[in-house]
Amino acid sequence: MKKIVWSILLLLSPWAMAETAEQQWPTQDGPVTVVWQNPDEFRDVEASSGIQERYENHVFATLGKQFQKRLSGLLKDGEQLTITVTNLDLAGDVRPSFGASASDIRIVKSVYPPMIEFQWALLDQNKQLLDSGEVKIKDLNFENASSSLRYQNDALHYELSMIERWSKRDLPDVLASRTE
C-alpha cells in the first residue's frame, strides 16, 4: 500500500510535472520577433554555475532584445521581421573546476569563438514574404574586437557586439537599403 501512495505522490509532484511540461523560451514580439528553435540542440548555452534553465532564459532574452534593438528601426510601418535562431555557441567553453569550487568555469580563448546561426523572414503589412535568408555569424577575432568594449560589463558582451557588427555591416540588401 505504501508503494502505491508513494508512486501517486511522485507522479503528482511538481518535479514530475516539470519533466513533462514543454519548456517555453522567451520570444520577443513586436515588429521583430525572435524565436529560439530547438534550444536543447544548440551547440553551447551551458551555464557554468546556477540553474541551467535560468541561464538559458537570460541568454535568450538578452540576445533577443539585441536583435530587436538593432533591427526594429529598419522596418517600415506594418512590416514584420522574424529571426529564428537555429544554433548558438557562446564564446568560450565550460570546464569542470574539479573541486576548486562548487561551480564549473567558462574558459574564454580564441579557439572557442561565438557563433549564431539563424533564418530571417521579412513580411510586408499584408503578411506577404518580401525576402528571407539564412545567416551564420561567427567572430574569429572576438577577443580583439574594439566594439566589445561597449558591452564589457555584460556577461554576453562578445555575442552582443557580434550582433551589433552584423546589423551595421552585413545586413541583407533588403534591410541594408533602408539605412541609406
How far apart, in whole angstroms, are the C-alpha atoms of residue 111 and residue 144? 13
Q: Give the pLDDT confidence score for residue 21 in this predicted structure.
A: 43
**Helices within 72-101 (DSSP H only):** none
Q: Give the pLDDT confidence score for residue 150 in this predicted structure.
A: 66
Please compute the mean of the pLDDT values over residues 152-159 and round it to a whole number.
Answer: 79
Q: What is the pLDDT of residues 21-36, one digit of tens each?
A: 445 566 767 899 999 9
Question: Which helix (H) or strand (E) segment is 10 a member of?
Answer: helix 2-12
Q: Give the pLDDT confidence score for residue 126 in this predicted structure.
A: 94
Instruction: Check pLDDT > 50 for residue 102.
Output: yes
Domain boundaries, the chain: 24-176
Q: Give the pLDDT confidence score for residue 172 in this predicted structure.
A: 80
Question: Is the Cβ–Cβ distance between 172 and 133 less than 8 Å?
Answer: yes
Q: What is the pLDDT of residues 61-70, one digit of tens each?
A: 999 999 999 9
Question: How many Cβ atoms sit within 10 Å of the Cβ of residue 59?
Answer: 22
- Give the 3-state secondary structure of residue 85: strand
